[in-house]
Amino acid sequence: MNTQQKRITTTWLYSGLVLIALMIIIGGITRLTHSGLSMVEWKLIGGTIPPLNETQWQETFAKYQQFPEYQKINTGMSLSEFKSIFFWEYLHRLLGRLIGLVFIIPFIIFWTKKWFNSKQKKQLLFLLSLGALQGFLGWFMVKSGLVDVPAVSHYRLAIHLVTAFGLMCYIYWLVLSFNDAEKKPNRTINKLSKWLIATLVIQIIYGAFVAGLKAGYLLPTDGGIFKSIFGYTIRNTSDFSLINNGFDIQAFHRLFAWIVFAISLITYNKTRKTSLKNAGNLVLALVITQITLGIATLLLRVQIHTATTHQFIAIILLLAVVRLTYLSSGKSQLNA
């Protein structure tokens, strides 16, 4: 792959990464505005075109009224109110289709031009497969809410979100490897960064659990701000659960953030006197920013702008740690 091909391929991959990040953000807004169950059908082609006239809107609204969310939660909702929640879910799905086109069409063109070596072809085919899986998981998640209980499964939400983050990380890793990003191998830092990725994945999973169970609204306020942020009391041991109880899940997500902070602080300390100093500084700064936004999100009772920013910084933070992991690794990557 020559210099021009690298540049074009990198632009292509970065475009997909940015679109997936935007997809995650819009998905979060869709969740926060309770819009995720507004589209009750899945049409790969037909679903691209929204209702265009009053009759079509009435037909779409009538289909929504047949499902539990309308019957149990939004009874009496007006058509104009329905249009506002429909917008976010429609935009989310439309962006998903756009991402598919952005990846598939250039991939076919570059493949026919023989820009990729055999290893790159395998990795890019895996990337496309992961993207297809992500699309399926999106519908699999929505389908769980079109039943008697009008709420998507927080397990399926977590799987959907983690796969999206994984897809972004894989794309970024390919970008670094395609461009032969200069490595500065450091076994200790590499090991710490991998531990940091593991803890971030746990946080992302529990962040999805918090969102799925609306647990962000359960911050205790009876002990002051300090106790709300750092404290935790099991209120009912018979009901304790880190996978189903919203109060316990939110507390775990809140307290586990300090483990992430501790590992990031150790990582920062190990990078201070190395050539990876800037990468370590960035990771620690992002972790501090993310914890601050997480606290603000809870204290402000999950306002959309704060929660969305919290999710956006999570994206940047994970990518920053992936970069640190790549740069500190000593293994050879793709031959671009």
pTM: 0.90
Strands (E), 177-227: none
Handedness of CA 277, 281, 282, 283 (dihedral sign): positive
The answer on pLDDT for 231 being more than 70 is: no
The DSSP symbol for 301 reads: T
Place 229 in a pLDDT band, splitting at 50, 70 and 90. Answer: low
Across the range 269-273, mean pLDDT stands at: 95
| 17-64 per-position pLDDT tens digit | 999 999 999 999 999 998 988 888 877 666 678 899 999 999 999 999
Neighbour-count burial of 309, counting CB atoms closer than 10 A to its CB (0-12 exposed, 13-18 middle, 19+ buried): middle
Across the range 190-219, mean pLDDT stands at: 94
Place 230 in a pLDDT band, splitting at 50, 70 and 90. Answer: low
| 145-202 per-position pLDDT tens digit | 888 878 889 999 999 999 999 999 999 999 999 988 889 999 999 999 999 999 999 9
Contacts of 186 (CB under 8 A, 6+ apart): 270, 274, 276, 328
